[in-house]
Amino acid sequence: MRKRFKPLLNHNSEFALDLAPLLAVMVKLVPVLLVSSAFVQMLIIETELPQVVQQAIEQQNKDPKATQVAVEVSRKFGVKFIITENGKQMVETVALTTEKELDLPRLHAKFQEIKKSHPEIFKIEMSPEEDVPYSDVVRVMDEARKSRSNDIKFPVKDMKTGQDTSTLYMFPEVVFGNTMDG
Amino acid sequence: MARKRFIPEIKKNQTFGLNITSMTDMFTILLVFLLQSFASGEINLDPVQGVRLPSSSTEKNLVDGARISISPTELKFDQLKVADVKDNKIASSAIDPNDSNFIKPLFDELQKFNKDNEKLAKTGKVLFQADRDTPYATLRKVMYTASMAGFPNLKLVTTAGN
């Protein structure tokens, strides 16, 4: 009987992998990606401006019993919260720090406190004073948008399923209230 | 007798294998980094010169809309300068004499945009890039004019931050 041919395999042999085509692809890809890459990540904060007509219609349909939260930002006194509930107004202020800056931790705590007592509200009306810089406006919106602590969540009802759930979002909808003022 | 200078023998037609493994490693790392930072959003927005955007903790990606920017020196609609800005205030020549919040050249450009990009204009979205030190009084003028031109959905462009 003829013996079956077995090729001799040397398991310890080494071979050189030709990386040149791979390198050629990379050399072409890298400049393309370098040109099209965004090294500064830009994001957006959504806000709606009140339109004159829209505002008038909303005013007509407004439920007088619904609680409203207005936030006034000033470089003199800090941030003033005006909470209107059942026709009654409650005013609270978070003063500036000793360095005349916004007291962001206290501001965030105040937003959490308001949200805890009014979990059904997601919209605030913001009215910064004329000399308030844009960065401060964004900071206040950041503090209002979402709870920083994962332990502090707020109850919310899922409209589709009717089940109670919780969310980190506090006041994601900000409307600039004084845009149309003269 | 002068000593003969040693001249090494050079083979002109010699070939040699270049070890490109380390270079390939470097390119692989670079490629992964670039793919990671590749703009994943549907919109690419070029930063405007002179505008230092504020940082924010928002997580929303850019959307398309009319593009307005305000730097310490100029107010622009897309790439077109519509008004001068001096001391963080819009030049009085651009302001309507009957309405102190109304920026006439910006309104005109937005109206033109309304006609040229009907589909996009219907969304009423404005991508607004403003310098972080711009006072609210100046921002309000832009917001007011945009709102009057039928663009009430303001998208404040920020950089990713804490």
When the pLDDT of each residue in chain B is averaged and rounded to a whole number, the result is 85
Q: Is residue A17 part of a domain?
A: no
Query: What one-character DSSP code corresponds to residue B94?
Result: G
A133: nearest CB among B56, B100, B134: B134
A33: nearest CB among B20, B23, B35: B35
Q: Which residue of B has its CA nearest to A135?
A: B132
Domain around A158 = 65-176
pLDDT at B120 over 70: yes
How much is the pLDDT for A74?
A: 92
pLDDT band at B43; cut points 50, 70, 90:
confident
> Are the Cβ atoms of B135 and A30 closer than 8 angstroms?
no
pLDDT band at B1; cut points 50, 70, 90:
low
Buried b (16+ CB within 10 A) or exposed e, A141-158: bbbbbbbbeeeeebeeee
pLDDT at B140 over 60: yes
In whole angstroms, give the CA distance from residue A154 to residue A38: 35
> Are the Cβ atoms of A142 and B56 closer than 8 angstroms?
yes
B60: nearest CB among A27, A37, A43: A43
Listed by start position, the domains of chain B span 55-160
More confident residue, A176 or A64: A176
> Are the Cβ atoms of A38 and B37 closer than 8 angstroms?
yes
pLDDT band at B81; cut points 50, 70, 90:
very high
pLDDT at A73 over 90: yes
- In B, which residues are within 8 Å of A180 by CB distance? 144, 147
How much is the pLDDT for A59?
A: 47
CATH label of the domain that carries residue A140 = 3.30.420.270
Count how many pairs of residues, chain A against chain B, have C-beta atoms within 8 Å: 155
What number does CATH give the domain B55-160?
Answer: 3.30.420
Written in H, E and C, the secondary structure of chain A is CCCCCCCCCCCCCCCCCCCHHHHHHHHHHHHHHHHHECCCCEEEEEEECCCHHHHHHHHHHCCCCCCEEEEEEECCCEEEEEEEECCEEEEEEECCCCCCCCCHHHHHHHHHHHHHHCCCCCEEEEEECCCCEHHHHHHHHHHHHECCCCCCCEEEECCCCCCEEEECECCCEEEECCCCCC
A26: nearest CB among B31, B38, B144: B31
How much is the pLDDT for A56?
A: 40
What's the mean pLDDT in A16-26? 84
What distance lies between CA A176 and its chain's CA centroid?
16
How much is the pLDDT for A132?
A: 93
Per-residue pLDDT of A40-53, as tens digits, reads: 777 777 775 544 43
Residue B72 near residue B133 (C-beta atoms within 8 A): yes
- In B, which residues are within 8 Å of A42 by CB distance? 45, 47, 53, 62, 157-160
- In A, which residues are within 8 Å of B147 by CB distance? 49-52, 179-180
How far B116 CA sits from the closest chain A CA (Å)? 23
- In A, which residues are within 8 Å of B130 by CB distance? 134
When the pLDDT of each residue in chain A is averaged and rounded to a whole number, the result is 81
pLDDT at B23 over 70: yes
pLDDT at A61 over 70: no
pLDDT at A15 over 60: yes
pLDDT at B153 over 60: yes
A41: nearest CB among B17, B35, B160: B160
How far A51 CA sits from the closest chain B CA (Å)? 6
> Are the Cβ atoms of B135 and A39 closer than 8 angstroms?
no
Residues 6 or more apart whose CB falls under 8 angstroms from that of B121 comprise B66, B113, B114, B150, B151
Per-residue pLDDT of A88-146, as tens digits, reads: 889 999 999 888 889 999 999 999 999 888 888 888 899 999 999 999 999 999 999 88
Choice among A155-164, A170-179, B82-91, B148-157 with the minimum mean pLDDT: A155-164
> Are the Cβ atoms of A37 and B39 closer than 8 angstroms?
yes
Q: Is residue A44 part of a domain?
A: no
* ipTM rounded to 2 decimals: 0.78
Residues 6 or more apart whose CB falls under 8 angstroms from that of A142 comprise B56, B57, B58
Q: Which residue of A has its CA nearest to B21?
A: A19
Total structural domains in chain A? 1
> Are the Cβ atoms of B133 and A30 closer than 8 angstroms?
no
